[in-house]
Structure 1
């Protein structure tokens, strides 16, 4: 079984039920399934076949869903890419990923007109409208012969596609990780990886045909891909697609469609919490919320749950694991600050430098095993061997497990700060500062120091403009060991974030290094 064949079955069972709602327009499961087959047939008429790599540079839209599942139906490999990446970043992924065709937004045409000369392997650019009205493909462009509109490719397709035999080991998707150093690596996820994680997430969280899920996380990101797209579609639920995150729109959609599930990153929950017009009545239909992408501060979780009277289940995942490995259970006690317990069919454990499991409470590296773990990195055998050992995926995250099997992320292994020989985990300091009533956002990094090696440096977004560095350092001194207290605190209007809203410590660290 894979996600494409499952869509056939779901469409047969829930023929007229909405698969998704976009711009307040409904598309049924039968309509989606037929569109997927027709577009896949149209792609095949262009010469795209099983095993070919095709990139998706799209926002949250029906085009993304139809394009993705059409590639699955052909047995091709999808490579979702953030459409806001710089030209050099996109060129690298398209070249390294051996991409033969690109399904993309019309807004990107000027960029591809400039970089097409370094992309000789790409034979087709399939253009999707960024607005309701489809713009004609410009004929005067040098790449116009390679360009086809999504509508035209769709119109060329039929419902009589001869579907290939797909085995679970075939590569379904390649997700390029952002990478803290060097070039991004392409994590190869098989059809079996994607299907198993969508199935197991749905089972663990009880996602079913009665659920209506806000899909506002970027579809090109693996968190959204599994939790807000594949799992609900596999279960017969309805996606309510929001192209870009807006607290006002989230509350409107939640009220209008009686949303039952909302998934977001901590920054989104923070914005919703601080939105003055949001109230518990807006979210009264929610069964629970899901947080992932980065650690949620405990103070934020408690304040959100108290204001909106809804449970937030924090989980954990990474691209290499399709991505989910843990969630706080819905039917058992949750533990604030924890990423929960292992989901169905997935095993997590904490090990030392020798790969030996450590006792509960002790910090080590989190490793993962299960049918969701990637095949490896595309064309990178050495990196694959360093990450996959004896069937285990080494995550690079430091964690601990308690006596009841709940896991806690301490920090990224690479983000740990060593102050005068003492280990300091940035998240620990961030938790203390985030509990301060006058702080909206915080990020902690290690900065070079000639005496101690490194010191703690903080960046905060304050709710009160009169808040001072001295006041916050005194606040930390009362709550932290001396070596964990920040050496300096910088006030900012906003912290750098990626497109999912995750705070980028790396960008702050690079800025500090350039100053020193």
Structure 2
């Protein structure tokens, strides 16, 4: 079984039910499944065969849903790519990923014209109309040097009776996700049909998704968090998606209220923006039965503040691209523990181990490792990296964690973000939690910088509207709650913290600022 075949089954059960709403229009499951099959047939007619790689450079839209499911139905491997990456970043992924076909917005055509000679394997460019509000320039296909490779997305939905559904095995690669690694080039995590299907199915069951749910899809669809939790799992459950092209608190609250949405999934910064939005009220979130957080650790102060204001529980979970992505969620049938990523989801086992790979005792810190049907088969064309990351069937996540006596897991920090001050371990998240509890601080990020005496020192970046706050007053605040060696040696004020497109704070960008300053 795979997610594209399951869509056909769901359409058989709920044919007239809306599969998604987009910009005020509803599209039924029967209509969606028909468009997916026609798209797959046209891919076959143009020469896309089983195993060929098709990249998606799209934002949140029906183009993405139809394009992904259509490519999977044709037997292709899908490579979702952030469309706002630089040409160099996109060029690397398309080249390294041996991409044969691309589905992209028309505003990206000039970029493909420039990269044409660098991508000899690229044979097809399927062009989607950019919404008028986002147009960068008018484009005439007749003038393009790559016009012979181009076909409109609309033409791909024309009737084609020649479709032959390919035989797909569980171990065939369905999706390659390029991870935004902190060092070196991105690595392509190969996820099989079994990986994708099992995780979506298990997440849907764990979160009790059903055909009555209406799920807000505002996380970027090219990101695995949205792909599984806000797209595949709902469509496998007969739920309806509410596709949001771009996150804004005002728009999300409006759509929740208009459609009586029941599920919202977001990263902590989204919840922070929603909590701070002046127009947001408890009434705006009244229909929600569940909020889901992932992508980064959620500060406890933010979680409690959001739950108190909107009277809805946030279930925090954990995942990574290499695990399709979800491994843990706070359960719905017992108390949610603030600060915890929850427990093993169905069919997935998490462990905390020491440097020798031995499981440690409860509440001891070690590396989180994962085993289950959701774990990738490896990195594309990187056997050594694969062997280092997957050992004995276990995926080594690189995250430091602990497990309590009841089986709840807690992320302590990224292994590589650990700060060592005079031989003592300082976990950035612990310090960040303290500053998030300060009533005037909106955001905080902590990292280590070189120190000639202690090896490393702690620096904290904060965002606040209170101009009266000083570095010394915030250090004093930290001294009241932290051991002396954990108190930041430096506190810097920023207008905003650097973030990626999912809203995750980019420590790497802050580290680059530190490195640049040390060179001056």
Q: TM-score, normalised by structure 1?
A: 0.99
Matched residue count: 515
Instruction: Name the structure 2 match of 1:158.
Output: 160
Q: Does 1:313 align with 2:315?
A: yes
- Please give the alpha-carbon distance, in whole angstroms, between the structure 1 residues aligned to 2:445 and 2:185: 24
Q: Which residue of 1 aligns with 2:369?
A: 367
Query: Which of 260, 263, 274 is equivalent to 1:272?
Result: 274
Partner of 2:275: helix, strand, or coil?
helix
Aligned equivalents of 2:283, 2:302: Cα separation in 1: 19
Deviations 1:446-488 (A, max 9, x none): 1111111110001110131221111100000111111101011
The aligned residue for residue 53 of structure 2 is 53
Partners of 2:237 and 2:204 lie apart in 1 by 7
Aligned partner of 1:394 in structure 2 is: 396
Residue in structure 1 matched with residue 70 of structure 2 by the alignment: 70
Counterpart of 1:467 (choices 466, 469, 476) is 469
Instruction: Give the unaligned 5+ runs of structure 1.
Output: none
Q: How far is the alpha carbon of 1:89 from its aligned partner? A: 0.5
SS at match of 2:84: coil
The alpha carbon displacement at 1:36 in A equals 0.2
**1:45-104 C-alpha deviation (Å, 9 max, x unpaired):** 110010000100000000000000011101110000000000100000000000001100
Pick from 144, 149, 158: which aligns with 1:146? 149
| TM-fit CA distance, 1:511 | 1.0
- C-alpha separation in 1, matches of 2:139 and 2:194: 39
Residue 395 of structure 1 aligns to a residue in which SS? strand
Could you say what the CA RMSD is over the residues aligned between the two structures, in angstroms?
A: 1.1
1:19 equivalent in structure 2: 19
Match of 1:451 in 2: 453
DSSP 3-state at the match of 1:139: helix
Q: CA deviation at 1:160?
A: 5.0
Output one character per residue of 1:363-391: Cα deviation in whole Å (capped at 9) or x when no partner.
Answer: 00000000000000000000000000111
Determine which of 321, 324, 332 is the counterpart of 1:322. 324
Instruction: Report which stretch shifted further, 81-90 or 141-150.
Output: 141-150
State the shift of 1:143 in Å: 1.2
- State how far apart, in whole Å, the 1-side matches of 2:87 and 2:453 are: 41
SS of aligned partner of 1:348: strand
Q: 1:114 aligns to what? A: 114
**Secondary structure of the structure 1 residue equivalent to 2:457:** strand
SS at match of 1:167: coil
Picking from 196, 199, 215, the partner of 1:213 is: 215
Task: State whether structure 2 residue 97 is matched by structure 1 residue 97.
Answer: yes
Whether 1:345 aligns to 2:347 is yes
2:290 corresponds to: 288
The answer to whether the Cα contact below 8 Å between 1:137 and 1:144 also exists between their aligned partners in 2 is: no
Cα distance in 2, alignment partners of residues 111 and 53 from structure 1: 20
Deviation at 1:153, TM superposition (A): 2.3
Contact 1:36 1:66 in 2 (8 A): yes
Check if 1:331 corresponds to 2:333: yes
Deviations 1:200-229 (A, max 9, x none): 000101001000000000000000000000
Q: Distance in 2 between matches of 1:147 and 1:471?
A: 60
Please tell me whether the aligned partners of residues 34 and 159 of structure 1 are also in contact (alpha carbons under 8 angstroms). Answer: no
Q: Matches of 2:282 and 2:496 in 1, distance apart?
A: 27
Residue 124 (1) aligns with residue 124 (2): yes
| Cα distance, 1:4 vs structure 2 | 1.1
TM-score by length of 2: 0.98
Matches of 1:449 and 1:476, distance apart in 2? 20
Structure-2 separation of matches of 1:243 and 1:459: 30
Q: Displacement, 1:132?
A: 6.0
Q: In the aligned structure 1, how far is the partner of 2:466 from the partner of 2:161?
A: 60
What is the match of residue 201 of structure 1?
Answer: 203
Distance (whole Å) between structure 1 residues aligned to residue 173 and residue 469 of structure 2: 52
- Partners of 1:132 and 1:163 in 2: how far apart? 36
Distance of 2:363 and 2:143 partners within structure 1: 65
Which residue is 2:80 aligned to? 80
Report the Cα offset of residue 136 of structure 1.
6.3
Q: More displaced, 103-112 or 317-326?
A: 103-112
Between the aligned partners of 2:104 and 2:190, the Cα distance in structure 1 is: 21
Other-structure match for 1:498: 500
Distance 1:132 1:368 in 2: 45
Q: What is residue 38 of structure 2 aligned with on the other side?
A: 38
Alignment correspondent of 1:9: 9
Aligned counterparts of 2:333 and 2:466: Cα–Cα separation in 1: 39
Q: Distance in 2 between matches of 1:159 and 1:201?
A: 35
- Cα offset, 1:430, TM superposition: 0.2
> What's 2:243 paired with?
241
Call closer, same or farther: CA 1:286–1:140 in 2, change over 3 Å: same
Deviation at 1:148, TM superposition (A): 1.2
Secondary structure at 2:142's aligned position in 1? coil
Following superposition, the deviation at residue 159 of structure 1 comes to: 4.9
Distance 2:115 2:314 in 1: 44
- Residue 382 of structure 2 corresponds to 380
